[in-house]
Chain A
Amino acid sequence: MSLDTVAFALAAALMVGGALGVALTKDVMRLVVGLGAFLLGVAGMFLYYGHAFLATAQVFVYVGGVLVLMIFAIMVVHRANGRPVLEARHDIGAAAIGAGVSGMLFMTLRESVGGWLPQSGTPGGPIAVELLGRSIVVFELAGGLLLIALVAVLVIVGAGERR
């Protein structure tokens, strides 16, 4: 078994394990830990494809930012409600829909891919040239979107406080 296969298997195990944790747990903090494991697995998958910049951004933005934000929100909600945050309502119909969509995705896209293990990608060095060159408009639009989201958060929270 080559090192590439091991790296892919590790990242895939993190992704699936984290996703299963999110789907099955009743404890809200375990849900966040499961989501963190999943996001680290996604970062590992980016590394596997040779996109180190993307993996770094994933860890900084998600594991360092979004998860902390979720924990703060859980602290506020849990304190306000004074009860466990999660309820389990597993449903065979929803499981069938989820499995059906997974199968549909696989059956639809399986002709588009080659072998079982993909080739490693290119190094992430030229990403700056791409972002500040050909993709500069999209890059600026993404910055604008983040600014709009920030203002929207302030407006939503401010409106909630005024009431």
Chain B
Amino acid sequence: MSALVLCAAVFGLGLYVVLTRRELIAVLAGAELMLGAANVQLVSFASMSGVPGESAQALALMVLVVAAAEVGVGMAIIVTLSRRSARSRTDDLQEVNG
């Protein structure tokens, strides 16, 4: 139960960061908070429900990999945007170029 309270609180904090921050780096950090909280909750649930530890670790490792890939692509977008227009804020991104 304590892990659930902890992860729910951290997930809410991450959501708050995503909603309130304007800078893309801070928004990305908020998304990382939510991913980390969800990953800890996954491991916690697996531990409590009797799922084999190695299966839980494999699944959590996949979440880790996806989060790392997300950060890499996110940082590339931030650096590219800052080079093009000296901007890295969410309010400045109002159109996409397909």
Instruction: Give me the interface of A with B, judged by CB distance under 8 Å.
Output: 8, 12, 15-16, 19-20, 22-23, 28, 31-32, 35, 38-39, 42, 45-46, 49-51, 53-54, 57-58, 61-62, 65-66, 69-70, 72-74, 76-77, 80-81, 85-87, 89-91, 94-95, 97-103, 105-106, 109-110, 112-124, 126-127, 129-131, 135, 138-139, 142, 145-146, 148-150, 152-153, 156-157, 159-161, 163
Give chain A nearest CB distance to B39 CB in angstroms: 7
Query: What CA separation (Å) do A120 and B19 show in the bound complex?
Result: 35
Interchain CA distance A115-B23 in the complex, whole Å: 40
The answer to whether A76 touches B26, judged by C-beta atoms less than 8 angstroms apart, is: no
Please state if B65 and A146 are interface contacts (CB–CB under 8 Å): yes
- Residues of A contacting B46 with CB < 8 Å? 121
**Measured CA separation A65–B67 after assembly (Å):** 12
Q: How far is the CA of A53 from the CA of B68 in the complex (A)?
A: 17
Given contacts A42-B39, A113-B48, 13 further A-B contacts (CB under 8 A): A54-B57, A69-B75, A70-B75, A99-B12, A102-B9, A105-B12, A121-B46, A124-B54, A131-B58, A138-B58, A142-B65, A145-B69, A157-B76
User: Do A15 and B6 form a contact, CB below 8 Å, given A38-B33, A49-B44, A81-B86?
Assistant: yes
- Tell me whether A85 and B53 are in contact (CB under 8 A): no
